[in-house]
Amino acid sequence: MTADNKIRVRQALKKIFPELSRAEIKGHLEQQNVYCGKKPMGVNSWVLESEIAQLSIAQIQDQLQGHADLPCQILHSTDDWLFIEKPSQMHSVAQTRQDHDTVANYLAALRPEQLQIHPLEAGLAHRLDFETSGVVVAGKNKQAYEFLRDQFSKNKVEKIYHCVATGEALELGVYQAYQLLKSKGSDQVYLSFEEEEGALKVVTEIIAAELCDQGIRYQLRLITGRRHQIRAHLALLGSPLLGDELYGGKSADRLYLHASELGVPDEQGEVTWVESNVPF
């Protein structure tokens, strides 16, 4: 039998379990939960096309499990939206159904129906970095979730952050840079003051600044909403965040970045503002 009659087990599992993400499938293979008959399968295994029907996953969960005891907090609730405070060192959404300590797990415990909106995001309309704390918002129904996603994609949501940085003290004002294409697939985002073809514009406004014991305390407004925007942009400007070693910041007990305020407009343009106390 030649390789032409075989298929990678990851591809075969995706055909059988289309609801599973690639990350979930990889996780099951790494945890040795996948069998072809009685034979265990690995991440790089192949199976004959005639054997696909014999594939099974042991200990598979039907859905993300709720976890109400996580250190999250409800900040505000409306008929359609739920505002949650995410602590530092927590993922916003789950990557697999086996995850148990994300904001999505917390939402699933509060309102199990959130999983009908999205099985791993539980209605959460955006994300904060693992190390970043602050306000996040979820839709309580599919329509509210889609509306929120659209508002974030169009930069209609007001996002205010507080942070502590070191290095050069920056003046108040609007700063612009460009996210380079080589950022894709890397943990680190690369910004430049010079535009190149295909680069994404990054715009950050510093609205307040003061000296503090640890360095410089900034209040910022995101005008665009790129991955690692504040971290990469302030590092480019010579003022990296405290605790952000990825971008040249000094080592600390945490990343000193907090999403302190979120202003979400409704369909009539009226903005709901929700605040979270800065923990540093």
Highest mean pLDDT range out of 25-39, 84-98, 163-177?
Answer: 163-177
Q: What's the distance, Cα to Cα, between the start and end of the chain in Å?
A: 63
Which range in 29-43, 50-64, 106-120 is most confidently predicted, on average pLDDT?
A: 106-120
More reliable by pLDDT, 182 or 16: 16
Contact yes or no for 106/70 (Cβ under 8 A): yes
Question: Rounded mean pLDDT of the chain?
Answer: 92
For residue 1, the model assigns a pLDDT of 38
Cα gap 153→198, rounded to integer Å: 18
Q: Is the pLDDT of residue 106 over 70?
A: yes
Q: Which two tokens stand for residue 32?
A: 């040795």
| More confident position, 33 or 19 | 33
Residue 243's pLDDT is what? 98
Domain ranges of the chain: 3-57, 73-154, 160-260
Tokens 């952050």, located at residue: 161
- Position 2 confidence tier, pLDDT thresholds 50, 70, 90: very low
The CATH-assigned architecture of domain 160-260 is 2-Layer Sandwich (3.30)
DSSP per-residue codes, 56-97 = EETT--SSPPP-TTSS-EEEEE-SSEEEEEEPSS--SS-SST
pLDDT bin (cut points 50, 70, 90) of residue 119 is confident
* Helix pair 9-16, 22-30: axis angle to 10 deg: 120
* Residue 183: per-residue pLDDT: 58
Which strand (E) or helix (H) includes residue 222? strand 215-222
Residue 179's pLDDT band (boundaries 50, 70, 90)? Answer: very high
Report the residue count for the chain: 280
Span of 34-43, 202-211, 266-275 with lowest mean pLDDT: 34-43
- pLDDT reported for residue 185: 59
DSSP secondary structure, 105-153, as one string = HHHHHH-GGGGGT-TTTTTB-----TT-EEEEEEESSHHHHHHHHHHHH
Contacts of 13 (CB under 8 A, 6+ apart): 20, 25, 28, 29, 34, 55, 57
**Percent of the chain at pLDDT exceeding 70:** 96
Asked whether the predicted pLDDT for residue 51 surpasses 70, the reply is yes
pLDDT, mean of residues 81-107:
94
Q: Report the predicted TM-score, pTM, of the whole model to 2 decimal places.
A: 0.81
Residue 254: which residues within 8 A CB-CB, separation 6 or more?
88, 89, 131, 243, 280
Its CATH class, for the domain covering 3-57, is alpha beta
Q: How far apart are CA 13 and CA 56, in angstroms?
A: 8
Residue 109: the pLDDT is 97
Q: How far apart are CA 231 and CA 247, in angstroms?
A: 7
Q: What are phi and psi of 256, to 5 degrees?
A: -85, 70
- Helix (H) or strand (E) segment spanning residue 145: helix 142-153
Give the whole-angstrom CA distance, residue 15 versus residue 45. 16
- Residue 38: predicted pLDDT: 86
Q: Are strands 133-139 and 191-192 parallel, antiparallel or unpaired?
A: unpaired
Q: Which residue has the tokens 């599973």?
A: 20
Across the range 208-227, mean pLDDT stands at 96
Q: Is 73-154 assigned to CATH 3.40.1210.10?
A: no
pLDDT band for position 216 (cuts 50, 70, 90): very high
- Decide if 3-57 and 160-260 have a common fold: no
pLDDT at 235: 97
